[in-house]
Amino acid sequence: MRLAIAGFSLESVTFLPGVTGVPDFEHGARRGQSVIQGLTGTNTAIGGFLDVCAAERVETVGILDAGAGAAAAASEAAFDKYVAEIVAGLVALWGRIDGLLIHLHGALATPSRRQADADVLGAIGAAMGAEFPVGVAMDLHGNLGQAVLDHATVIAGYHKSPHTDMATTGMRAARLLIRALRGETKPVMAIAKPGLMLPSIFSATMLEPLAGIMRQARAWETRETRILDISVFCGFAYADVPDCGMAVVVVADGEPALAARAADDLANQARLLRFQLYKEELVMSVAAGVEQALALAKSAAKPILLLEHADRLNDSTYVLRALIERGAKRVYAPFMFDPEVAAAAIRAGEGATITVDFAGKTSPQAGGPVRLTARVLYAGRKVFNITGPLKTGSQIDLGETALLDAGGILISVVSVQWSAIDRDCFDQFGLRPEDFAFILLRSKTHFREVYTPLAEAIIIIDTPDWGPADLKTLPYRHIPPGVFPVTQA
Residues interacting with Zn ion, by CB under 5 A? 139, 141
Q: Which is nearer to Zn ion, 36 or 232 (CB)?
A: 232
Q: How far apart are CA 261 and CA 220, in angstroms?
A: 10
Which residue, 114 or 160, has its beta carbon nearer to Zn ion? 160
Distance CA 18, CA 74 (A): 9
Residue nearest to Zn ion (CB): 141
Least gap, CB of 106 to Zn ion (angstroms)? 9
- 365 near 372, Cβ under 8 Å? no
What does each C-alpha distance from 227 to 51, 151, 217 come to in angstroms?
23, 20, 10
Which of 103, 141 has the CB closer to Zn ion?
Answer: 141
Instruction: Work out how close the CB of 309 gets to Zn ion at its nearest, in angstroms, rounded to a whole number.
Output: 14
User: Which CA distances in Å does 34 have to 5, 37, 42, 58, 179?
Assistant: 11, 5, 13, 18, 26
d(CA 244, CA 201): 16
Report the residue number, 30 or 141, with the smaller CB distance to Zn ion.
141
Provide the terminal-to-terminal Cα distance of the chain, rounded to the nearest Å: 51
Query: How far is 172 from 115, CA to CA, in rounded Å?
Result: 24
Q: Are 221 and 230 in contact (CB under 8 A)?
A: yes
Residue 9 CB, nearest approach to Zn ion (Å):
10
Q: Is 430 left (phi over 0), alpha (psi -120 to 50) or beta?
A: left
Complex with Zn ion: residue 185 or 443, whichever CB lies closer: 443
| Minimum distance of Zn ion from residue 185's CB (angstroms) | 28
User: Shortest CA distance to 171 belongs to which of 4, 48, 47?
Assistant: 48
Comparing CA positions, the residue from 131, 142, 150, 159 lying closest to residue 189 is 150
Minimal distance, residue 166 CB to Zn ion, in Å: 10
CB of 193 to Zn ion, least distance (A): 18
C-alpha to C-alpha distance for 344 and 357, rounded to whole angstroms: 11
Looking at the Cβ atoms of 139 and 240, the one nearer to Zn ion is: 139
Note whether 400 and 381 are within 8 A (CB). yes
Report, in Å, the least distance between residue 139 CB and Zn ion: 4
Contact (CB, 8 A) for 335 and 412: yes
Separation between Cα atoms, residue 83 and residue 80, nearest integer Å: 5
Q: Shortest gap between Cβ of 291 and Zn ion (angstroms)?
A: 31
In the complex with Zn ion, the residue whose CB is nearer, 107 or 319, is 107
Nearer to Zn ion, 69 or 464 (CB): 69
